[in-house]
């Protein structure tokens, strides 16, 4: 399957492994140890050798060599799920290793079985560019988790990262994204066997682990803020514009070029891959991309903008019933609608993303629009008709402006960045909040080097967590807030977190979760249907680049070519919304990605591991009979249409397949649109209620701790969460501002800005764009203005071309003679 057309990066990982060509191994004898291995050598700078005994057992000797100062790993099967994984990395003159279990996208946890790894010192070394690690793996060949030593051949996998784990001295440390490459390969197991195995195994010895150093105290701060996704930007900007002092702590680094991001595309050195909608599917394998979190059970963005910088760009405006059905009073659509309009004024999303109004690579739409229309389904614009969700289809609504990826980095952050009362701190991960009884007094943070410090909250200040539904719970657990069993895992774990006294723990139901569940089906197209080559996106032609220079063409679009929605009514009357993403990865083939969304009854639980990673302790995906029935009904409807005599589609699977049989045999995929982990409600969770935060988003049992991210949503939305979480954040910050006039601390796991910073001067038609003196940053400021000149828009208001542009010694850019329909202004490429 083509990497440029796959729906989510988690799917890309699986498809990437499945699509790598099997390669053979060859004999290799290590000069120092004398051990003879069967060895695989990748082109990415990793090699892996295996030696086995003549009689199949549960032990093997391995050797990993990698040209990296990050980590290297091998999976003992070809699967991304439920496989043993040997990970190793250099730490000074030593090599640290651990045995882990893969669980899909999530950061692999340490294996809790009896298998052990023992290093062979003579075959282990470190130099300036890489390392070699030779080891005995005892008890590692476990049925279902490893290769079969009695087989002639096997399939294994590998992964490589250029970035060290978060705490390199700790064997259980969270791993950074495998940006150095990944793949699978065929292995000659029969050729790995030797009568000398026992004597080689006798060379092995034991290893060791350590824990992080304790935090050092830091200074006072007017406003601290833990890691978050896009909502930290929305909240921080709105707080800052009221004059409140705001410190935004961002776990990751910059993303867009104008923010200091440097992951530029090969054909334009002032444009990052994150900004180009058409490059979404190739982001996980884009060289140098380090945007993903390493300690969550599914994909999350740990970069400026969070998920909005790396996701599939879907921007589905929520229907009114998304709020009306299960949100509490104060959060019904009539009360939230004004907040939604504030978001859409700045960040509207688009069903026609190419600036020339045309649709490119549109053969999927051509086929499906006729398919659905012939079945009586209605063509709608989901931006203009968000409440219509029964048998409708639409062009995809995506989060772009002027052909570029939009989101809070582009539409909120620049309004705050130039304010004297706003401070952004990058590469700063919030570990926990410090609390005296019910009052939060500070936050403990961890820098890139793994050192920790404490930032104090000023008198009357607030801390607002916006770390995302999979990370804000970790901060709460580490702060002594949540179920006792999870806090006890932190207490007995190895992350070096200092908890409050047990008498100060706050027992709240943190971790409850819902998510969209996906099932993917492929259909053949009768007749001719061709799609654009994947290379046209990753290595565009001059024509495609020329179109994109004005925000037009295929690069201005995301991977989807159509969306459909319907409402399924089960036998018991329960209604479930079905969203279907429609795309193609090959000529004459269309992929239907079915999702059960609003009305889902499957729920799960999120917990924490001793290593500080969050994980699913209860699977939330398609576990209820109601959801299975709804998914099966939706699939049956499309199968029935495809089996009509005049249908242009044919299901690739069995001719006798039914929705029920497909659901029963499918492994549902994560939508990664989690809600509820810090759920809002009026029933205080301390008193046997179900809620973690109240209707002002304040954590029960605290005076000044808030959560504003998807975790506080009490229901699962109809579409992707990008639009609704921005709407809810706008509404939440208005409630927080209304509580009092005190200083506020914003918390975010992924937004920040550098480069060109914008402030509004006293004259509404005059803007001072502050550009740092460094040549590269001055270039970024000019680049921001060039995009503004090109796009001719400001917050949705069409405006005349800028004129009287003056560049003053590379330090300040003054823009005058401007007709504006709104005082709010931003300039960020």
pLDDT in tens, 738-783: 997 544 444 433 222 222 122 222 222 222 222 232 333 445 555 5
pLDDT, position 587 = 96
Residue 570 neighbours by CB distance under 10 Å: 18
Which of 384, 446, 400, 372 is CA-nearest to residue 170? 446
Cβ atoms of 260 and 780 within 8 Å: the answer is yes
Pairing of strands 562-569, 60-66: unpaired
pLDDT, position 490 = 98
- Checking 197-203 for CB contacts under 8 A at 24+ apart, the result is 197/51, 197/52, 197/53, 197/54, 197/61, 198/53, 200/33, 200/34, 200/35, 200/51, 200/61, 200/120, 201/59, 201/61, 201/136, 203/33, 203/120, 203/121, 203/122, 203/123, 203/136
- Determine the average pLDDT of the residues in 364-385: 98
pLDDT 10s digits, 709-729: 999 999 999 999 999 999 999
pLDDT, position 257 = 85
Which class for 183: exposed (0-12), middle (13-18), buried (19 or more C-beta within 10 A)? Answer: buried
**Ordered domains of the chain (ranges, CATH):** 3-201 (2.60.40.1210), 757-816 (no CATH)
pLDDT, position 779 = 53
Handedness of CA 746, 751, 754, 755 (dihedral sign): negative
pLDDT 10s digits, 496-519: 999 999 999 999 999 999 999 999
| Residue 38 φ/ψ, nearest 5 degrees | -90, 125
C-alpha 297/C-alpha 474 separation (Å) is 12
Quote the mean pLDDT of the chain.
Answer: 84
pLDDT, position 748 = 35
Residues with Cβ within 8 Å of residue 101, at least 6 apart in sequence:
82, 83, 84, 85, 108, 109, 110, 111, 112, 145
C-alpha gyration radius of the chain: 27
pLDDT score of 803 more than 60:
no
607 Rama sector, left if φ>0, alpha if ψ -120 to 50, beta otherwise: beta
Residues with Cβ within 8 Å of residue 341, at least 6 apart in sequence:
none
Q: Which range among 123-132, 444-453, 715-724, 803-812 shows the weakest confidence by mean pLDDT?
A: 803-812
pLDDT score of 791 more than 50:
no
pLDDT band at 222 (very low <50, low <70, confident <90, very high): very low
Q: Which range among 31-45, 207-221, 404-418, 644-658 shows the weakest confidence by mean pLDDT?
A: 207-221
Helix intervals (H) in 275-412:
307-310, 320-324, 333-346, 363-374, 408-411
C-alpha 29/C-alpha 43 separation (Å) is 20
Cα→Cα distances 228→451, 453, 514, 703, 824, Å: 20, 19, 19, 21, 24
C-alpha 716/C-alpha 718 separation (Å) is 7
pLDDT, position 57 = 94
Residues with Cβ within 8 Å of residue 310, at least 6 apart in sequence:
9, 274, 280, 283, 291, 292, 301, 303
Cβ atoms of 299 and 280 within 8 Å: the answer is no
- Structure-model confidence comparison of residues 282 and 773, the more confident one: 282
Cα→Cα distances 391→219, 255, 576, 584, Å: 57, 38, 13, 21
**Number of alpha helices (DSSP H) and beta strands (DSSP E) in the chain:** 17, 44
C-alpha 702/C-alpha 682 separation (Å) is 15
- Determine the average pLDDT of the residues in 519-545: 95
pLDDT 10s digits, 597-621: 999 999 999 999 998 999 999 999 9
pLDDT 10s digits, 161-188: 988 887 888 888 878 778 888 888 889 9
pLDDT, position 106 = 65
Residue appearing with tokens 């790995």: 192
C-alpha 661/C-alpha 632 separation (Å) is 8
pLDDT 10s digits, 566-583: 999 999 999 999 999 999
pLDDT, position 101 = 87
Three-state secondary structure call for residue 192: helix
pLDDT, position 207 = 52
| Residue 572 φ/ψ, nearest 5 degrees | -90, 5
Write out 507-575 in H/E/C secondary structure: CCCCCEEECCEEEEEEEEECCCCCCCCCHHHHCCCHHHHHHHCCCCCHHHCCCCCEEEEEEEECCCCCE
| Residue 294 φ/ψ, nearest 5 degrees | -115, 10
pLDDT score of 20 more than 90:
no
Query: Which two structure tokens, joined as six digits, stand for 86?
Result: 């040997």
pLDDT band at 217 (very low <50, low <70, confident <90, very high): very low
β-pair partners for 301: 292
In the chain, the N- to C-terminal Cα span, in Å, equals 32
C-alpha 232/C-alpha 752 separation (Å) is 10
- The CA dihedral of 621, 624, 630, 635, to the nearest 10 degrees, is 50
Cα→Cα distances 741→229, 236, 339, 363, Å: 25, 15, 20, 55
């Amino acid at each position: 399957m083509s990497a440029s057309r796959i729906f989510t990066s988690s799917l890309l990982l699986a498809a990437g492994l499945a699509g790598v060509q099997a390669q053979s191994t060859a004999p290799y004898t290590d000069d120092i140890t004398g051990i003879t291995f069967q060895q695989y050598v990748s082109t990415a700078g990793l090699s892996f050798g295996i030696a086995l005994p003549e009689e199949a057992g549960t032990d093997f000797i391995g050797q990993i060599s990698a040209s990296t100062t990050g980590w290297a790993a091998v999976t003992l099967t070809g699967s991304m799920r439920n496989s043993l994984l040997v990970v190793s990395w250099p730490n000074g003159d030593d090599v640290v290793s651990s045995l882990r279990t893969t669980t899909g996208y999530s950061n692999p946890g340490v294996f809790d079985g009896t298998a052990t790894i023992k290093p062979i010192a003579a075959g282990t070394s470190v130099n300036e560019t890489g390392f070699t690690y030779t080891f005995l793996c005892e008890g590692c060949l476990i049925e279902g988790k490893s290769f079969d030593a009695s087989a002639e051949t096997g399939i294994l996998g590998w992964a490589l990262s250029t970035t060290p784990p978060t705490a390199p001295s700790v064997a259980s440390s969270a791993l950074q994204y495998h940006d150095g490459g990944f793949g699978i390969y065929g292995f000659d197991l029969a050729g790995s066997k030797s009568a000398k195995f026992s004597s080689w195994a006798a060379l092995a010895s034991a290893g060791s682990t350590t824990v992080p150093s304790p935090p050092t105290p830091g200074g006072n701060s007017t406003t601290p803020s833990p890691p978050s996704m896009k909502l930290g930007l929305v909240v921080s900007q709105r707080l800052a514009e009221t004059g409140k002092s705001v410190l935004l702590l961002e776990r990751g680094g910059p993303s867009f070029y104008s923010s200091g991001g440097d992951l530029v595309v090969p054909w334009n050195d002032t444009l990052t891959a994150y900004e180009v909608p058409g490059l979404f599917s190739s982001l996980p394998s884009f060289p140098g991309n380090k945007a993903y979190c390493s300690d969550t059970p599914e994909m999350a963005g740990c970069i400026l903008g969070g998920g909005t910088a790396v996701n599939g760009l879907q921007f589905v405006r929520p229907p009114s019933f998304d709020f009306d059905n299960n949100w509490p009073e104060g959060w019904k659509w009539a009360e939230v609608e004004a907040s939604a309009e504030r978001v859409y004024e700045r960040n509207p999303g688009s069903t026609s993303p190419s600036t020339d109004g045309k649709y490119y690579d549109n053969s999927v739409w051509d086929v499906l629009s006729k398919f659905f229309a012939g079945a009586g389904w209605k063509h709608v614009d989901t931006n203009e008709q968000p409440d219509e969700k029964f048998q409708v289809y639409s062009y995809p609504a995506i989060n772009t402006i002027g052909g570029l990826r939009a989101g809070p980095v582009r539409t909120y952050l620049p309004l705050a960045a130039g304010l004297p009362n706003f401070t952004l701190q990058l590469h700063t991960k919030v570990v926990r909040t410090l609390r005296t009884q019910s009052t939060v007094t500070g936050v403990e943070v961890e820098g890139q080097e793994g050192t920790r410090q404490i930032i104090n909250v000023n008198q009357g200040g607030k801390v607002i967590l916006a770390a995302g539904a999979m990370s804000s719970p970790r901060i709460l657990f580490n702060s002594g807030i949540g179920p006792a069993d999870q806090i006890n895992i932190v207490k007995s774990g190895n992350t070096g977190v200092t908890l409050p006294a047990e008498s100060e723990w706050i027992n709240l139901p943190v971790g409850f979760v819902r998510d969209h569940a996906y099932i993917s089906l492929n259909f053949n197209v009768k007749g001719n249907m061709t799609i654009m080559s994947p290379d046209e996106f990753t290595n565009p032609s001059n024509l495609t680049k020329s179109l994109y220079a004005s925000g037009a063409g295929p690069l201005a679009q995301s991977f989807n070519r159509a969306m459909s929605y319907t409402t399924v009514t089960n036998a018991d009357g329960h209604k479930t919304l079905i969203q279907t993403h429609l795309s193609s990865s090959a000529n004459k083939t269309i992929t239907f990605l079915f999702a059960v969304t609003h009305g889902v009854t499957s729920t799960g639980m999120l917990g924490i591991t001793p290593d500080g990673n969050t994980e699913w302790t209860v699977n939330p995906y398609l576990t209820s009979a109601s959801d299975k029935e709804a998914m099966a009904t939706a699939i049956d409807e499309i199968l029935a249409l495809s089996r009509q005599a005049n249908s242009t589609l044919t299901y690739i699977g069995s001719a006798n397949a039914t929705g029920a049989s497909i659901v029963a045999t499918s492994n549902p995929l994560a939508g990664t649109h989690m809600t509820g982990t810090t759920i809002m409600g009026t029933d205080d969770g301390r008193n046997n209620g179900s809620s973690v935060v109240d209707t002002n988003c304040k954590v029960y049992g605290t005076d000044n701790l808030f959560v504003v991210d998807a975790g506080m949503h009490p229901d699962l939305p109809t579409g992707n969460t990008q639009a609704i979480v921005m709407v809810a954040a706008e509404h939440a910050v208005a409630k927080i501002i209304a509580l009092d006039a005190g200083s506020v601390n914003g918390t975010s796991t992924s937004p920040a800005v550098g480069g060109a910073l914008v402030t509004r001067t006293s004259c509404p038609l005059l803007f001072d764009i502050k550009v740092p003196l460094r040549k590269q940053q001055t270039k970024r400021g000019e680049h921001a203005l060039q995009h503004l000149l090109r796009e001719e828009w400001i917050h949705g208001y069409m405006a005349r071309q800028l004129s009287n542009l003056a560049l003053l010694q590379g330090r300040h850019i003054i823009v005058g003679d401007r007709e504006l329909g709104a005082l709010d202004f931003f300039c960020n490429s």
